[in-house]
A and B are shown apart, each in its own frame.
Chain A
Amino acid sequence: MNQPEHFDHPDVVICAGGPMLLRGDHLVADADSELHRTTRPVSAVCRCGKSANQPWCDATHKALPAKLRP
């Protein structure tokens, strides 16, 4: 009988060329030390620095050339 598999399920996921995903409830300080509480089951934190909705990702990284993506 096969043993049911165990799956990795990290709380923090760095997406190549994109944001950092945070699972669960967190308090995030932005670059100006302003605090932002997560409001959804998974949140995406901007890593390219270009989001207009800091500290959250707004997919602006998609408009950047590949070499400028995080």
Chain B
Amino acid sequence: MIPAPRGALSEILLERIRETDADLSAVAKAEPDGSEDAHLALWVLYELHYRGIAGVDDRLEWDPDLLRLRRGLERAFEAELRVRYGAAAPEHTEPFADALFAYMDGHKGPAVSTYVQRDASREQMTELLRHRSIYHLKEFDPSAWVIPRLPVAPQAALMELAWDEYGTGDPNRLHRHLFARGLAACGLDPGYASYVDDAPLEILEQNNAMSLFGLHRRLRGAALGHLACFEATSSVPSRRLALGLMRLEMPREITDYYTEHVEADAVHDQLAVRAICGSLVEAEPELLDEVFFGAFTCLDLEARYAGWLLDRWQVPAEPRS
């Protein structure tokens, strides 16, 4: 997997990191042409921390020039995310779990799943699967960075959820593996990040936000707020997607992935909001607003993707319900 560049920055980055003993100082000083270029470059830099990139020396994960470039891109992205959140920051009320659930329920952005359940064509469904594959093939991995950075109670709670995400020791139940099998059954490429060139800016932003939150200890509150929101907004849409896949008579393996998430995420949303985030804000009350920032970012980036996709499909946007 080597993505196609989307501007001057991603072009020089992808070119230089594949050269032997390349001088990367010019890469660190390069400027992006725009948001897609910046987010593809950031995505590439993050991938050095996950599975690596074909033809790229693994030692570049900790190269100071690349870390300098990453820091600049992250600062701009985080600042933008915080501006978006600024207007939507809640008045915090007690108890915490009720307040977070109510905050998420109150965010009525456009949703893809209602249209997909009733009307999407097979071509549209496979396009959605290709986009989703960028995250689902590394499902939960960004949240796993947070594990060693937590007080006792939220650490135990996060592991309880992670154990299920990672298949309770059975590789066949590992969620990313379930998704890979679903892709293959649909005739799609199950290879890691195979479809990154199809990913619009909104998908790159979603993936980069999770890596940003996961890789910085100071952002652990946002990482867990994002996780809680991701889990809390998954069960009902997963059922709609499963119904859409059955309507289109798509393979059982991909339907199984979403059916598994109907049941799993009905558990995980309670665990993530109450046990993980609840115990985090009890142990570290100063992180309360960060949890809401993470949750908002999850909602906002999904709404942006849904808006982009429905517009592309020329479907009137229906609010999430």
Within 8 A of B (CB), among A49-70: 52-53, 56-60, 62-63
Taking chain B's interface residues, is the majority helix, strand, or loop, or is none over half, making it mixed? helix
Q: Is the CB of A42 within 8 A of B152?
A: no
Give complex CA distance A17, B271 in Å.
14
Chain A interface (Cβ within 8 Å of chain B)?
Answer: 4-5, 7, 9, 13, 15-19, 21, 40-44, 52-53, 56-60, 62-63
Number of residue pairs across A and B with beta carbons under 8 Å? 65
Shortest Cβ distance from B234 into A: residue:
A59
Q: Roughly how many angstroms separate A44 CA and B262 CA in the complex, as a whole number?
A: 11
Quick one: which of B153, B262, B321 has the most chain A CB within 10 A? B262
Q: Does B239 contact A (CB under 8 A)?
A: yes
Q: A5-B152, A63-B321 are in contact. Are A21 and B105 (CB under 8 A)?
A: no
Q: Which of B185-241 contact A (CB under 8 A)?
A: 235-236, 239
Q: Mark B251-271, 1 if CB is under 8 A from A, else 0.
A: 000000000001111110111
Chain B interface (Cβ within 8 Å of chain A)? Answer: 97-98, 101, 105, 152-153, 156, 160, 163-164, 168, 235-236, 239, 262-267, 269-271, 274, 321
Cβ distance A11 to chain B, nearest Cβ, rounded Å: 13
Q: Which listed residue, A5, A42, A62, touches B267 by the CB 8 Å rule?
A: A42
Alpha-carbon distance between A13 and B264 when the two chains are bound, in angstroms:
16
Check B168 against A59 for contact (C-beta < 8 Å): no
Asked if B235 contacts A21 (CB within 8 A), the reply is: no
Are the C-beta atoms of B271 and A21 separated by less than 8 Å?
yes
Q: List 29 A-B contacts (CB under 8 A).
A: A4-B152, A7-B152, A7-B153, A7-B156, A9-B156, A13-B270, A16-B97, A17-B98, A19-B266, A19-B267, A40-B168, A41-B160, A41-B168, A42-B164, A42-B271, A44-B267, A56-B263, A57-B266, A57-B267, A58-B266, A59-B236, A59-B262, A59-B266, A59-B269, A60-B236, A62-B105, A62-B235, A63-B236, A63-B321
A59 to B235, Cβ gap below 8 A? yes
